[in-house]
Amino acid sequence: MFVDQVKVNVKAGNGGNGIVSFRHEKYVAYGGPFGGDGGKGGDVIFEADPNMITLMDLRYHRKIKATPGENGKTKKMHGANGEDTIVKVPLGTIVKHADTGQIVADLTQPHQQQIVAHGGRGGRGNYHFKSSRNTAPKYAEDGKPGEEFDCIVELRVLADVGLVGFPSVGKSTFLDAVSRAHPEIGDYPFTTRAPNVGVVETKDGRSFILADLPGLIEGASQGKGLGHEFLKHIERCRVILHVIDMGGEEGRDPVEDYKIINDELGSYQMRLLERPQIVVANKMDLDHAKENLQRFKEAYPDVPVFETCTIIHEGLDPVLRKAADLLATTPPFPIMDDMGQDVGVTYTMESKPKDFEIVEVEPHVFEVKGPKIDRSFDITKLNTEEDYYLFSQRMRYMGIDDALRKAGCQDGDTVRIHGFEFDFIES
């Protein structure tokens, strides 16, 4: 079974917690804080494996987790970092964020690796917080959570030349004739349900990868038939080899077929028509082939056509030499995301989101919320008087006190953070 798209959940390891510890050695004067830092959580890494051809393994492993970091230890010892989880996928795999469609990994080279989810940072032990004003801090940081999200893992066949055309025009027969690949060949539409790939070598010693892709039909760019399942696989091809049934064996018009296929390629958002195209007039041994070829040349006088009969391996070498010539001068095309944008690094001017905002939810009750509050506030850490002191200092450092005053908060009013309520007191 060929699997070319899987949705999985990735969860990087959480960072280990720092600890509170003090020296108690008999001959060490004044001891002091001695708590170590927590270890970093493991990353989730995707690696391109040349020996894999489908995403079948991921179909049965939808939850991918990395190991969390260990907590800190006494004597300022650092907790062990979590182990990374390496996920092996075929060459040509793209990993996209399920919510935004943003591409986070594009793996095209053997053994290429990309971190998809980063592990959380370990928390600091209490020895980091020693100061002249607080020589015995009883406070340590918790580790940060690792990244977690759903992602779409998608395989786009890594080939130099892609065979396109209507079903049953002879694409699979062409691949079988010029390579050692043995695709399924039948006398019915949509024989090829998944891409087949073979290595082709010309008589002058040049070689390239040729992909027999599932057949196109009218409306494919809107998802009809195999639709996008087919078109996405041609994105990596640098040359398109357009096979036409010039004999009209299925009762189709070769001239109209050529127009329909190119319309579908042009309608797809990835600019497929920018790739050089070789037109192969196949099945030239049939009765009406010469007549149809003449009509085709009249309709498209500027399009070079190569006459072949793939079933008896006739006329194939000129096609292969032409494909090798075009590959020598055609650079790789960038992979685009769902919005038609290059997945390379882009810079955009966006306003920085606010760290927090204050809303008066009811008279004399103010709620503080925002991404920085989510990262800084942890009710489980408010256990001692020192914890509350450090929390209030952090809120003051973030400017929340002044922001509450500007919002109209007065002495004795209620401040709500994550469902917990505090009294605002003017000092």
In the chain, where are the structural domains located? 1-155, 161-329, 357-423
Residue 148, helix vs strand vs coil:
strand
Q: Is the pLDDT assigned to residue 270 strictly greater than 90?
A: no
> Residue 104 is encoded by which pair of tokens?
């986070």
| Short-list 213, 209, 147, CA closest to 2 | 213
Q: Cβ(88)–Cβ(77) under 8 Å?
A: no
Is residue 348 very low, low, confident or very high in pLDDT (cuts 50, 70, 90)? Answer: very low
pLDDT at res. 130:
86
213-221: average pLDDT? 55
305-313: average pLDDT? 91
Is residue 73 very low, low, confident or very high in pLDDT (cuts 50, 70, 90)? Answer: very high
Q: Is the pLDDT assigned to residue 345 strictly greater than 70?
A: no
Least confident of 45-59, 165-179, 225-239: 225-239
Q: How does 322-340 read in b/e, with b if 16+ C-beta sit within 10 Å? A: bbbebbeeeeebebebeee
Least confident of 26-30, 273-277, 408-412: 26-30
Q: Given this structure, which CATH class describes domain 161-329?
A: alpha beta
pLDDT tens, position by position, 187-211: 544 444 567 788 888 888 898 888 8
59: amino acid identity, one letter: R
SS3 for 179-233, per residue?
CCCCCCCCCCCCCCCCCEEEEEECCCCCEEEEEECCCCCCCHHHCCCCHHHHHHH
Q: Rounded CA gap, 174 and 190, in Å?
A: 15
Q: Is the pLDDT assigned to residue 29 strictly greater than 70?
A: no
Cα 90 from chain centroid? 13
pLDDT at res. 420:
81
Question: Binding site for GTP: what residues are annotated?
Answer: 165-172, 190-194, 212-215, 282-285, 309-311
> At the fourth CATH level, which superfamily is domain 1-155?
GTP1/OBG domain (2.70.210.12)
- Pair type for strands 414-417 and 420-423: antiparallel
Q: Rounded CA gap, 26 and 28, in Å?
A: 6
404-419: average pLDDT? 86
For the chain, give the percent of residues with pLDDT over 90: 30
Radius of gyration (C-alpha) of the chain in whole angstroms = 31
Provide the mean pLDDT of the chain: 82
Q: Cβ(52)–Cβ(9) under 8 Å?
A: no
pLDDT at res. 269:
58
Question: Binding site for Mg(2+): what residues are annotated?
Answer: 172, 192
* CATH code of the region 357-423: 3.30.300.350
Same fold, 1-155 and 161-329: no
pLDDT tens, position by position, 84-135: 999 999 888 889 999 888 888 888 889 999 999 999 999 999 888 888 888 8
pLDDT at res. 279:
94
Q: Is the pLDDT assigned to residue 280 strictly greater than 90?
A: yes
Question: Binding site: what residues are annotated?
Answer: 165-172, 190-194, 212-215, 282-285, 309-311
305-314: average pLDDT? 91
| Short-list 116, 110, 74, CA closest to 92 | 110
Residue 53, helix vs strand vs coil:
coil
277: amino acid identity, one letter: Q
